[in-house]
Amino acid sequence: MSEAASSDVGDAGTTDAREATRRALEARAEAVRSEQLERAYSRLEARDALTPERARVLDDLADRLVEGLLEAPERAVEEADDADIERMRAFLEAEE
């Protein structure tokens, strides 16, 4: 295998690892988002104060918070080397 072909295989592996790390990060964020929204909904329902409009406002707020909080980690995944990607994956797996 030529050096260029070998490099392409390594790049593909790194790309796959980056994508898997990004998906794991997004999945964790979505799990926290859903958990916290359910908690907020329950508290409002207990007070008979959950309306469709309030639910939409909470959903929009949660979406914007997750987007904002994921910006820096997603950038870090994009810029990380193989060793950093592996550490990020280990961290995310330990959080499960």
CA 85 to chain centre: 14
**Residue the block writes with tokens 């707020």:** 61
pLDDT at 16: 92
**pLDDT per residue over 28-81, tens digit each?**
999 999 999 999 999 999 999 999 999 999 999 999 999 999 999 999 999 999
**pLDDT per residue over 32-42, tens digit each?**
999 999 999 99
Q: HSE (CB half, 13 Å, CA atoms) of 6?
A: 3
pLDDT at 81: 94
Q: How confident is the model at residue 10 (pLDDT cuts 50, 70, 90)?
A: low
Report the alpha-carbon angle 26-27-31, nearest 5.
Answer: 115
How far is it, in rounded angstroms, from Cα 32 to Cα 21?
A: 17
DSSP letters, 36-74, are: HHHHHHHHHHHTT---HHHHHHHHHHHHHHHHHHHHHHH
* 29 three-class SS: helix
- Taken as a whole, the chain contains a residue count of 96
Query: Is the confidence at residue 7, as pLDDT, over 70?
Result: no
